């Protein structure tokens, strides 16, 4: 059977979706693990509590810096090689993080976080890889199903934190060593991935649009803005959540349970997000995601009871799912195959650049904008307003453009 036939009937695409969904579930468990303990560990190591979330910020910064090189590497060496490289970086970063905890050295701990960002960047390409061999009809479902793998990671990750965070004399060191094991075992999944390497372009092959031409294409520009805002605001609030929960009188177990609920809400909708996009259109689903993100902020501003945290973080997860999967689907259909490496790397550079700024702002807003945890938590949620207005305005502008523009 030819490659074209495989692509047409989605046989290869469905197999790859299974592999990528498993990777999202198992390897992806390290992300909620690191987001639960990163700020708490940083708070014990940093000389200034305003820098407590800096380890999480450096994970995202590492992801941003790795996005273009990884995209270039996968365009030439293939997805399989890129994903194995990402898992290796995840293991190395976690090992350095554990060593930083052993030394009680904040700089060493931060170095490990920066290297871990290479895994986070590779993890972000799972959704694009799902679309590589999928037909136009199957593409939104393929992306959605792979994202649904995060449902298992939402359970595995925080529960591993409960088991490992205080398992050793040095708090949180056990969690980082567990992350090393997750990466070493999870990398074996990519042996079963079947995505052909992109062909080497011939001299007369189309070069595609420049990065500037791509990013100024209205549909691509709006997709990138909505992806940036959805991901950055989710990160802004989630990064502060463990600090806010513990600061408002609850314990680490409560924080882990709330993050579990949040990550479940991020991925459970993925079972039907693709179907909603196919039925109602991608713009309406993205718009719904932005509205739900706004609702999350509204609930959080109502108080700091445990129920407020749970409901706000669940809404935050659902809003991220609709906004981010919708924006990814919009982007995947707006560029050609030979533009893939250029556009996907640029997209993740911009998205994770926004997420880096959000995670940096999160610690400052949470710990340094008022006299207590409640005031900091209010500041974090109020900061969502202008960015939701930006993304909503961009989406409305796109919808109001003439269809033949």
Q: Say if CB 90 and CB 183 are below 8 A apart.
A: yes
Cα dihedral 104, 121, 124, 13 sign: negative
**Pairwise CA distance, residues 234 & 8, whole Å:** 36
**Pairwise CA distance, residues 168 & 380, whole Å:** 33
Would you write out the chain's pLDDT as a tens digit for each of its 405 residues? 344 443 446 888 899 999 999 999 999 999 889 988 888 888 889 888 778 778 988 998 898 889 889 988 998 888 999 999 999 999 999 999 999 999 999 999 999 999 999 999 999 889 888 888 888 778 878 888 888 887 888 788 888 988 998 889 998 999 999 999 999 999 999 999 988 877 666 666 666 777 788 888 888 899 999 999 999 999 899 888 888 888 888 887 788 788 888 878 988 888 888 889 888 999 999 999 999 999 999 999 998 899 999 999 999 999 999 999 899 888 877 777 667 767 877 887 888 788 888 877 887 788 777 678 888 899 999 999 999 999 999 999 999 987 655
**Pairwise CA distance, residues 68 & 61, whole Å:** 13
Share of the chain above pLDDT 90, in %: 43
pLDDT at 169: 92
pLDDT at 174: 94
**Pairwise CA distance, residues 221 & 128, whole Å:** 17
Is the residue at 278 inside a domain? yes
State which residues form the domain around 364.
11-193+208-400
pLDDT at 261: 87
pLDDT at 3: 42
pLDDT in tens, 206-249: 667 777 888 888 888 999 999 999 999 998 998 888 888 888 88
Number of domains in the chain: 1
pLDDT at 7: 43
Is the residue at 202 inside a domain? no
Q: Which two tokens stand for residue 160?
A: 């591993």
Is the residue at 3 inside a domain? no
Q: Say if CB 356 and CB 64 are below 8 A apart.
A: yes
Arithmetic mean of pLDDT over the chain: 86
pLDDT at 341: 67
pLDDT at 360: 78
Distance from the first to the final alpha carbon of the chain: 40
Which CATH number does the domain housing residue 382 bear? 1.20.1250.20
Is the residue at 173 inside a domain? yes
**Residue 138 burial (10 A CB sphere; 0-12, 13-18, 19+):** buried
Is the residue at 2 inside a domain? no
Is the residue at 244 inside a domain? yes
**Pairwise CA distance, residues 293 & 277, whole Å:** 18
pLDDT at 338: 67
Is the residue at 200 inside a domain? no
């Amino acid at each position: 059977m030819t490659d074209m036939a495989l692509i047409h009937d989605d046989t290869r695409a469905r197999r790859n979706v299974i592999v990528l969904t498993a990777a999202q579930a198992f390897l992806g468990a390290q992300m909620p693990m690191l987001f639960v303990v990163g700020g708490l560990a940083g708070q014990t190591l940093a000389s200034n509590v305003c820098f407590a979330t800096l380890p999480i910020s450096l994970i995202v910064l590492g992801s941003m810096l790795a996005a273009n090189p990884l995209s270039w590497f996968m365009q030439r060496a293939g997805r399989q090689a890129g994903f194995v490289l990402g898992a290796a970086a995840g293991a190395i970063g976690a090992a350095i993080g554990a060593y930083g905890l052993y030394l009680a050295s904040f700089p060493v701990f931060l170095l490990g976080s920066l290297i871990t960002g290479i895994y986070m960047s590779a993890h972000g390409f799972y959704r694009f890889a799902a679309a590589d061999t999928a037909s136009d009809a199957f593409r939104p479902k393929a992306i959605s199903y792979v994202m649904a793998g995060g449902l298992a990671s939402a359970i595995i990750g925080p529960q591993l934190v409960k088991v490992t965070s205080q398992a050793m004399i040095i708090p949180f060191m056990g969690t980082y060593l567990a992350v090393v094991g997750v990466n070493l075992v999870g990398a074996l999944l990519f042996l079963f991935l079947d995505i052909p390497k992109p062909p080497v372009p011939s001299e007369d092959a189309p070069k595609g649009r420049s990065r500037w031409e791509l990013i100024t294409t209205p549909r691509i520009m709006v997709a990138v803005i909505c992806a940036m805002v959805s991901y950055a605001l989710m990160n802004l609030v989630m990064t502060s959540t463990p600090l806010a929960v513990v600061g408002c009188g609850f314990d680490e177990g409560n924080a882990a349970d709330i993050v579990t609920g949040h990550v479940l809400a991020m991925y459970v909708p993925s079972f039907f997000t693709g179907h909603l996009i196919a039925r109602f259109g991608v713009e309406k689903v993205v718009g719904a995601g932005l509205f739900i993100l706004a609702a999350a902020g509204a609930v959080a501003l109502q108080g700091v009871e445990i129920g407020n945290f749970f409901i706000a973080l669940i809404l935050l997860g659902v809003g991220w799912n609709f906004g981010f999967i919708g924006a990814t689907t919009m982007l995947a259909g707006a560029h050609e195959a030979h533009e893939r490496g250029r556009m996907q790397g640029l997209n993740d550079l911009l998205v994770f650049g926004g997420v880096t700024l959000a995670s940096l702002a999160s610690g400052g807003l949470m710990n340094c904008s008022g006299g207590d945890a409640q005031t900091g938590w209010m500041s974090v949620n109020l900061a969502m307003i202008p960015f939701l207005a930006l993304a909503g305005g961009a989406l409305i502008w796109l919808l109001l453009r003439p269809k033949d523009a």
